[in-house]
Amino acid sequence: MVEMMKNPFFSFPDLENEYPSSYTPLLQDQISKQDHERPRNVQQTSNKGLLLTFSLFICIAFVVVFTGSDHSSMSPVVVIDDDNRPSLSSPSEKLTPIIPRGVSEGVSEKSFHPVSGDGILLFPWSTNMLSWQRTAYHFQPQKNWMNDPDGPMFYKGWYHLFYQYNPDAAVWGNITWGHSVSKDLINWLDLPFAMVPDHWYDINGVWTGSATLLPDGSIVMIYTGSTNESVQVQNVAFPANLSDPLLIDWFKYSGNPVLVPPPGIGAKDFRDPTTALQVSDKWRIVIGSRFNTTGIALVYETTDFLSYKLLDGLLHEVPTTGMWECVDFYPVSTTAANGLDTSVNGPGVKHVLKASLDDTKKDYYALGTYDSETNTWTPDDPELDVGIGIRYDYGKYYASKTFYDQNKKRRILWSWIGETDSETADIKKRWSGVQVIFSMLEEDEVNLVA
């Protein structure tokens, strides 16, 4: 592989000679001899056969036109049910098209290709056939649906990952916060659900949120809830026991919601608060939204995480990029290889602004400068602005979120991989979605890509 990267014209070895097959290949002189001994009338016979085939095709076409096709007489096909038992089904039977999940609630399309073609199930997938797709390295729950990463952090020796989860099925719905912990970001321990949709302000889903570790050691989680009227609001939750390194129990603030969509913002265009950054003695969070087709980032300021003030202006906006969700905003050093705490700013620091574009289901980011006095972020290169420039990844990659790992002074990037399997296949295999991470380690260490 190294040789190939050095030399673009590097040729691969002859795999047939390198790994002999079970059959005996013909020698080159035998192949040539066979070519010379081929009868001369083969070409003429081929032409006659082609003409006969074409004539037969025309005749069949006329018959179909005048008599019509009788689908009821076609042979049935075998379909495998959920218990892997074969059953007969007529080819004319069509599956009911599945409406993309989540769109009517005001979130990204959470289902992909519902079925193949025009609704006909082309292949009878079974759970056993699809089980090989489960990963051994990427994080994923034992079963059912998973999407956006939520509130990742390092606390008392454990890495915590919360994630959007459907406890009932391998499709989007009933969004709950799954919770797992790890010592090494590879081996994970599943814990009880952190939060479930059980209040009017999040009964339609405990959606994406972020964790902020405060200087006094406390933790605040801010997340989007979908209300009983499908309005997107921001809510606060806290660990019930800070002495528990696993943070198993959480309680929701009795005064939720702490934020509702401001005037001029749609009820379903206000979501996914970032980790808070400290400016002087106050904290700021960024929330994604839009004005018509312009993607925007709103900034709120707070001192106690219970009451908030919307700052004047916008952090940033980019026309024609549509709804911004899962916004991420964090500093990076221009002089060192280590990561930075979210609140760091000043000389030698740039800020990354990233948005997940709801219209295209792609993650874009840009590098720029954050002026905390005017509360504005300016891209270094306007031609590479958010939504029109660089993407984290050019495959199936979405809803990414970073956190600062104070344990190893690095920033870790999580992202949801919504596979390209059909929803029908997801239901058969009984799971959907994996997480991917990228970690920037300290100066002399190696990047970890999982």
DSSP string for residues in 284-304? EEEEEEEETTEEEEEEEEESS
pLDDT digits (tens, 9 = 90+) for 361-401: 999 999 999 999 999 999 999 999 999 999 999 988 999 99
pLDDT digits (tens, 9 = 90+) for 211-241: 999 999 999 999 999 999 999 999 999 999 9
Distance (Å) of CA 196 to CA 159, 164, 192, 204, 265: 21, 10, 10, 10, 26
Residue 382 belongs to a domain: yes
The mean pLDDT of 124-146, rounded to a whole number, is 80
Q: Which domain holds residue 341?
A: 141-448
Whose CA is closest to 299, among 279, 323, 321? 279
Residue 386: the pLDDT is: 98
pLDDT at 329 over 50: yes
Residue 428: the pLDDT is: 85
The Cα–Cα gap between 155 and 151 comes to 12
Residue 124: the pLDDT is: 65
The mean pLDDT of 136-151, rounded to a whole number, is 92
Residue 78: the pLDDT is: 37
Residue 418: the pLDDT is: 86
Residue 117 belongs to a domain: no
Residue 114: the pLDDT is: 43
Residue 438: the pLDDT is: 82
The mean pLDDT of 312-328, rounded to a whole number, is 97
Residue 345: the pLDDT is: 96
The mean pLDDT of 93-120, rounded to a whole number, is 54
Residue 138: the pLDDT is: 86
Residue 164 belongs to a domain: yes
The mean pLDDT of 120-142, rounded to a whole number, is 72
Give how many domains the chain has, as a whole number.
1
Residues whose CB falls within 8 Å of the CB of residue 221, separated by 6 or more in sequence, listed in order: 151, 209, 210, 211, 212, 236, 237, 238, 250
The DSSP secondary structure of 131-164, one letter per residue, reads: GGGS-SSSB--SSEEEEEEEEEEEETTEEEEEEE
Residue 172: the pLDDT is: 92
The Cα–Cα gap between 397 and 371 comes to 30
Q: Which pLDDT band, with edges at 50, 70 and 90, does 8 fall under?
A: very low
Residue 424: the pLDDT is: 82
Residue 85 belongs to a domain: no
Q: Which pLDDT band, with edges at 50, 70 and 90, does 256 fall under?
A: very high
Residue 58 belongs to a domain: no
Phi, psi at residue 273, to the nearest 5°? -65, 145
Which CATH number is 247's domain given? 2.115.10.20
The mean pLDDT of 204-210, rounded to a whole number, is 97
Residue 420 belongs to a domain: yes
The mean pLDDT of 49-63, rounded to a whole number, is 57
Residue 53 belongs to a domain: no
Residue 350: the pLDDT is: 97
The mean pLDDT of 84-103, rounded to a whole number, is 49
pLDDT at 267 over 70: yes
Residue 119 backbone zone (phi > 0: left; psi -120 to 50: alpha; other: beta)? left
| DSSP-based three-state secondary structure for 335 | coil
Phi, psi at residue 109, to the nearest 5°? -65, 120
pLDDT at 275 over 60: yes
Q: Cβ(84)–Cβ(129) under 8 Å?
A: no
The mean pLDDT of 162-178, rounded to a whole number, is 95
Known catalytic residues are 148
Range name among 51-55, 248-252, 441-445 with the lowest pLDDT average:
441-445
Whose CA is closest to 382, among 315, 318, 288, 313? 318
Residue 4 belongs to a domain: no
Q: Which pLDDT band, with edges at 50, 70 and 90, does 19 fall under?
A: very low
The DSSP secondary structure of 91-104, one letter per residue, reads: TT--PPPPPPSSTT
The mean pLDDT of 421-438, rounded to a whole number, is 86
Phi, psi at residue 72, to the nearest 5°? -65, -20
The mean pLDDT of 407-432, rounded to a whole number, is 89
Residue 55: the pLDDT is: 61
